[in-house]
Chains A and B, each alone.
Chain A
Amino acid sequence: MSDHSQSHTGHSSSADGGHDHHDIAAHVKTYILVFVALLVGTLITVGMYFVHFESMAVTIAVALFIASIKAFLVAGYFMHLLSEKKMIYSMLGITVVFFFALGALTIWSSNDFPKNTEMKALYVP
């Protein structure tokens, strides 16, 4: 059983609901803009490396903030997440919760050594 009987011509085959040529042409412009924004974002990220902040926390926060904006652009526009169906959002919502839970568990364990653990030196000179 297949759907081969439903023949298509390739014209405005709307996989995700009502895209026609005009829609897509407008999307292409957005894709190019996002591309330029990503390149600029990369340059800003590298530029921040040469700006020395006093605190390491600020350095990390700035780097991750720029990366998050770039990630939003890729996920939102290239991956069409800004106009996706509800089911995808709920799947990703669950993933985000588990992602942070996993990270929190790992970091939570960082000072949790078994009793009588000895920290050994890397080498003995």
Chain B
Amino acid sequence: MEIPYTYKPRPDTGLYNAKVGIWLFLASEIMLFGALFSSYILLRVQAPMGQWPTVAGAWPTGLLNIPIGTFNTAVLITSSVTVVLAWAALKMNNFKAFRRYMVVTLVCAFGFLGIKSYEYNEKFTHYELRLKSGESFTGHIEVNGKHAGFWDFGSIYNLARLEKDQVSEIKFTADPPKPKAGEKHASAAAHAHEVKTIKREDIVWLDAFIPRNHTFFGIYFVITALHGLHVLGGALVLGYFAFPGSSMWKRNPEQFANRIEVAGLFWHFVDLVWIFLFPVVYLL
């Protein structure tokens, strides 16, 4: 039995069904991301005032890598324009150009995910350390002579884990202090990467930049990972239409162009979310 379908615009609304469908779906997506954005605002407004990590729980700023984030924004914007150009190429009956633009889109999509996972790894291996003396640092640790590797969840440590593994001391390389306002370069002392040995009994708090450490990382990872899943899902659909699914072009070009338009609408939405996400989590 064949499932009945139509790809022609309805005479009353002027819209084909798939377009109504994708916009309803995008409306639900707006609510989903809207809930997360308002959670972000709530968590941030509720955070204690002061400079993190000096004040525990204060909202950290400037932790994310701005040049990389900017580059990734450009990558996603590029993929957004190539997907609309791919649709336009189909409308101009140029399948070769369509394929070319789709390939660029896919390269950008996976490039975005690759860069994002590099950024994630930087966070998994970066630590907040608080001592009984009241001092607090951020930096990198070495436990039993080992640094954490790429996406190595097994070597993420906190105080409880140090106790469980009976680690009596760790090596800690503190981040250089940030240049103060009005100071172009950090002072010479800031460049020294001094490795300190820290005894376990002096530590009151140790954790990587991961969700359990701080609500900032909690909301950062939830929003960006959900966005990343959207990028992955969109890339899979676009990849299907670019290659195996493109045989429909010969059978029914109008329906195929509609599919590209609908998939493109989803893709632009993913770009739209990032346009707000980038300034909110990286810059503000």
Complex CA gap A92/B5 in Å reads: 25
Inter-subunit contact B252/A74 (CB<8 Å) = no
Complex CA gap A10/B261 in Å reads: 15
Interface of A is mostly: helix
Of the candidates B5, B204, B254, the one whose C-beta lies within 8 Å of that of A13 is: B254
Is B42 part of the binding interface, using a Cβ–Cβ cutoff of 8 Å? yes
A12 smallest CB distance to B (angstroms): 8
Inter-subunit contact A10/B27 (CB<8 Å) = no
Inter-subunit contact B41/A103 (CB<8 Å) = yes
Complex CA gap A86/B30 in Å reads: 19
| Smallest Cβ-Cβ distance to A13: which chain B residue | B254
A110 contact set on B, CB distance < 8 A = 42, 45-46
Inter-subunit contact A45/B278 (CB<8 Å) = yes
Inter-subunit contact A63/B283 (CB<8 Å) = yes
| Smallest Cβ-Cβ distance to B41: which chain A residue | A107
Complex CA gap A43/B207 in Å reads: 34
B32 smallest CB distance to A (angstroms): 10
| Smallest Cβ-Cβ distance to B39: which chain A residue | A106
Inter-subunit contact B253/A8 (CB<8 Å) = yes
Q: Tell which of A24, A63, A67, A78 has the most Cβ of chain B within 10 Å.
A: A78
Inter-subunit contact B9/A16 (CB<8 Å) = yes
Inter-subunit contact A15/B205 (CB<8 Å) = no
B92 contact set on A, CB distance < 8 A = 21, 24-25
Given A42-B73, A91-B23: A49 and B30 interface contact (C-beta under 8 Å): no
Map CB proximity to A onto B1-19 as digits: 1 under 8 Å, 0 otherwise.
0101111110001111001
A70 contact set on B, CB distance < 8 A = 275
Interface segment, one of B76-84, B140-148, B226-234, B238-246: B76-84
B23 contact set on A, CB distance < 8 A = 88, 91-92
In the complex, chain B residues 226-284 whose Cβ is within 8 Å of any chain A Cβ: 249, 251-254, 257-258, 261, 264-265, 268-269, 271-272, 275-276, 278-280, 283-284
| Smallest Cβ-Cβ distance to A45: which chain B residue | B279
A90 smallest CB distance to B (angstroms): 10
Inter-subunit contact B8/A3 (CB<8 Å) = yes
Inter-subunit contact B88/A87 (CB<8 Å) = no
Of the candidates A3, A35, A79, the one whose C-beta lies within 8 Å of that of B77 is: A35
Inter-subunit contact A107/B38 (CB<8 Å) = yes
Complex CA gap A99/B52 in Å reads: 31
Q: Can you add 14 more A-B contacts, CB < 8 Å, to A16-B14, A28-B85, A67-B275?
A: A3-B6, A3-B8, A8-B253, A16-B19, A21-B91, A35-B80, A38-B77, A39-B77, A42-B73, A78-B84, A78-B268, A102-B38, A106-B39, A110-B46
By a beta-carbon cutoff of 8 Å, the part of chain A in contact with chain B is 1-4, 6, 8-13, 15-17, 19, 21, 24-25, 27-28, 31-32, 34-35, 38-39, 42-43, 45-46, 48-49, 52, 59-60, 63-64, 66-67, 70-71, 74-75, 78-79, 85-88, 91-92, 94-95, 98-99, 102-103, 106-107, 109-110, 121-123, 125
Q: What are the 9 tightest A-B residue pairs by CB atom distance, in nearest-first order? A: A10-B253, A106-B38, A13-B254, A35-B81, A95-B27, A63-B279, A103-B38, A1-B4, A49-B283
By a beta-carbon cutoff of 8 Å, the part of chain B in contact with chain A is 2, 4-9, 13-16, 19-20, 23-24, 27, 30-31, 34-35, 37-39, 41-42, 45-46, 56-57, 66, 70, 73-74, 77-78, 80-81, 84-85, 88, 91-93, 130, 132, 134, 181, 204-205, 249, 251-254, 257-258, 261, 264-265, 268-269, 271-272, 275-276, 278-280, 283-284
Can you list 16 A-B pairs, Cβ within 8 angstroms, ordered by A?
A: A10-B249, A16-B19, A17-B9, A24-B88, A35-B78, A39-B74, A42-B73, A45-B283, A67-B279, A78-B271, A91-B23, A94-B27, A103-B34, A110-B42, A110-B45, A123-B205
